[in-house]
Amino acid sequence: MPLRIIFMGTPDFSVPVLRALHAAGHQIVAAYSQPPRPAGRRGLELTPSPVHQAAEALSIPVLTPLNFRNDEDVATFRAFNADVAVVVAYGLLLPLSILEGTRLGCYNGHASLLPRWRGAAPIQRAIMAGDAETGMMIMRMDKGLDTGPVALTSRVGIPLDMTAGELHDQLSVAGASLMVEAMAKLEADELPLTPQAEAGVLYAAKISKDETRIDFSRDGIDVHNHIRGLSPFPGAWFQADVGGKTERIKVLRTEPATGSSTPGDVLDDHLTIACGTGAVKLLRLQKAGGKAMDAVDFLRGTALARGMRVS
Binding site as annotated, residues for (6S)-5,6,7,8-tetrahydrofolate: 112-115
Where residue 96 falls (left for φ over 0; alpha for ψ -120 to 50; beta otherwise) is alpha
Question: Which 8-state DSSP code applies to residue 265?
Answer: B
Q: Where are the alpha helices (DSSP H) in the chain?
A: 15-23, 50-57, 71-79, 96-99, 122-128, 164-187, 220-229, 295-301
Nearest alpha carbon to residue 82 among 139, 157, 11, 5: 5
Nearest-angstrom CA–CA distance, 239 and 248: 5
Which residue intervals of 24-135 are DSSP H helices? 50-57, 71-79, 96-99, 122-128
Cα–Cα dist 65/94, whole Å: 12
- Please report, in range form, the residues annotated as the binding site: 112-115
Return d(Cα 225, Cα 254) in angstroms, integer. Answer: 9
Phi, psi of 51 (to 5 degrees): -65, -40
For residues 146 and 203, is the Cβ–Cβ distance under 8 A?
A: no
Which one, of 165, 15, 184, 183, lies nearest residue 88 by Cα?
A: 15
Which residues, other chains included, contact 35 with Cβ-Cβ below 8 Å and sequence gap of 6+?
A: 64, 65, 66
The dihedral built from the CA positions of residue 112, 117, 121 and 124, taken in this order, carries a sign that is negative
What distance lies between CA 70 and its chain's CA centroid? 29
Compute and round to an integer the Cα radius of gyration of the chain.
22
Question: What are the beta bridge partners of residue 136?
Answer: 154
